[in-house]
């Protein structure tokens, strides 16, 4: 992870099971300037049962109502495929990542050079996965779609236990004690970034609630980011302006393709434009201070005013708001110093617009 916003170009399963397309997606992510390109690693039989139906968006985007198992089987990539993709990403200068959806896949991915382990929103309540991921002692990016604060706290409690203890927890009380401990809190701050997320594809704007990032940051004292499922790029860019340290965004080679996630994904040119905008916002955010920028200083005398005579003033005449005004340039007495001058006698005569002297 870096000090700047870490942008994850989420390839997910938008390769449609094609290794060639997965490689092309790495090229797109690298060309767009992403920090990482992320896939999904799973064995369908370990992820879903035969009775698991599709979500409404999956049925809508794939054009049929069958179960998840057949859909996911068609989207699997083999372990050797992942190794090849990781090598291709390294050659293109973009970090390889993948989300594990089963414990075997997590163990496999842990041997690859990834900048972080990603916990998907759907697995926020899978304690065994959280514990195993924590015990890898790697940076963790935890998505929080569909969750409330209590569920996030429960997940962080498992992670805190895994980061600080070696035994198997006996109860939720054990987990809560690890979360509440100073060591647990310190390790969470060292390892965990929370991602706000709305688990709908595409996510309607009214359901986004970017202010939830503020709530999570204040509640847990952890860095926050945003996993974006909205159409377009504006919400992801706004999340950066609101303090996101990580942005994750789905992309595709062609949004018109059938498949569960294509419809809510960016096409290559859009991905590049979003990342360019994020980098611009990053620069513009600056630092938490209100001081003049060096580039402003030369404009002070041009844009500000000084006290001048509003009309001819005779020597000895009483100075007042009727015969004093403020005009550019700021090369004399500041208009903020007018108040002590009121009621004084002019020390000399002034022509209209002539700068007043103290």
| Predicted confidence (pLDDT) per residue in 321-339, tens digit | 999 999 999 999 999 999 9
| pLDDT over 60 at 205, yes or no | yes
Give the pLDDT confidence score for residue 1 in this predicted structure: 46
What residue has token string 């980011």?
225
CB 73 within 8 A of CB 44: yes
| pLDDT over 90 at 22, yes or no | yes
d(CA 233, CA 275): 9
CA 114 vs. chain centroid, Å, equals 19
* pLDDT grade for 69, boundaries at 50, 70 and 90: confident
Mean pLDDT computed over every residue of the chain: 95
- 32 membership: H or E segment, kind and range: helix 19-32
Give the pLDDT confidence score for residue 259 in this predicted structure: 81
Query: Which residue, 75, 78, 94, is CA-closest to 86?
Result: 94
Question: What is the three-class DSSP state of 53?
Answer: strand
* pLDDT grade for 68, boundaries at 50, 70 and 90: confident
Q: What does the angle CA 328 – CA 332 – CA 337 come to, to the nearest 5 degrees? A: 100
| pLDDT over 80 at 65, yes or no | no
d(CA 6, CA 227): 12
Dig out the tokens for 291 from the structure.
Answer: 């001081």
Q: What is the reported pTM?
A: 0.90
CB 36 within 8 A of CB 95: yes
Counting residues of the chain whose pLDDT is more than 70, the rounded percentage is: 97
| pLDDT over 70 at 61, yes or no | no
Taking residues 127-147, what's their average pLDDT? 98
User: Cα dist. 254→15, 27, 267, 294, 326 in Å?
Assistant: 10, 14, 6, 45, 61
160-174 pLDDT per residue, tens = 999 999 999 999 999
CB 283 within 8 A of CB 80: no
Ordered by where they begin, the domains of the chain are 6-285 (3.20.20.70), 294-341 (no CATH)
d(CA 319, CA 308): 11
d(CA 208, CA 191): 26
């Amino acid at each position: 992870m870096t000090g700047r916003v870490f942008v994850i170009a989420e390839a997910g399963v938008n390769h449609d099971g094609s290794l060639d397309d997965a490689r092309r997606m790495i090229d797109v992510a690298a060309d767009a300037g992403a920090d990482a390109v992320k896939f999904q690693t799973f064995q369908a039989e370990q992820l879903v049962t035969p009775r698991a139906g599709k979500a409404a968006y999956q049925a809508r985007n794939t054009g049929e109502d069958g179960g998840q198992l057949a859909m996911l089987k068609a989207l699997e990539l083999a372990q050797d495929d992942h190794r090849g993709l990781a090598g291709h990403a390294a050659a293109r200068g973009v970090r390889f990542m993948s989300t594990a959806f089963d414990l075997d896949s997590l163990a496999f991915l842990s041997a690859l050079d990834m900048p972080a382990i990603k916990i998907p929103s759907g697995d926020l309540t899978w304690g065994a996965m959280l514990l195993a991921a924590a015990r890898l002692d790697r940076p963790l990016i935890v998505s929080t779609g569909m969750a409330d604060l209590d569920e996030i706290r429960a997940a962080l409690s498992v992670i805190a236990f895994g980061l600080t203890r070696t035994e198997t927890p006996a109860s939720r009380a054990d987990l809560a004690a690890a979360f509440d401990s100073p060591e647990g809190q310190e390790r969470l701050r060292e390892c965990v970034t929370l991602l706000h997320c709305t688990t709908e594809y595409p996510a309607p704007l009214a359901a986004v609630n970017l202010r939830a990032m503020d709530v999570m940051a204040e509640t847990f004292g952890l860095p926050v980011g945003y996993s974006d499922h909205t159409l377009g790029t504006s919400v992801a860019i706004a999340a950066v302006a609101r303090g996101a340290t990580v942005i994750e965004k789905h992309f595709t080679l062609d949004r018109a393709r059938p498949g569960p996630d294509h419809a809510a994904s960016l096409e290559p040119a859009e991905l590049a434009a979003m990342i360019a905008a994020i980098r611009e916002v990053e620069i513009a955010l600056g630092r938490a201070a209100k001081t003049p920028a060096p580039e402003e200083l030369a404009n002070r005398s041009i844009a500000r005013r000084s006290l001048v005579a509003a009309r001819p003033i005779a020597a000895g005449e009483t100075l007042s708001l009727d015969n004093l005004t403020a005009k550019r340039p700021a090369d004399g007495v500041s208009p903020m110093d007018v108040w002590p001058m009121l009621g004084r006698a002019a020390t000399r005569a002034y022509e209209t617009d002539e700068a007043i002297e103290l």
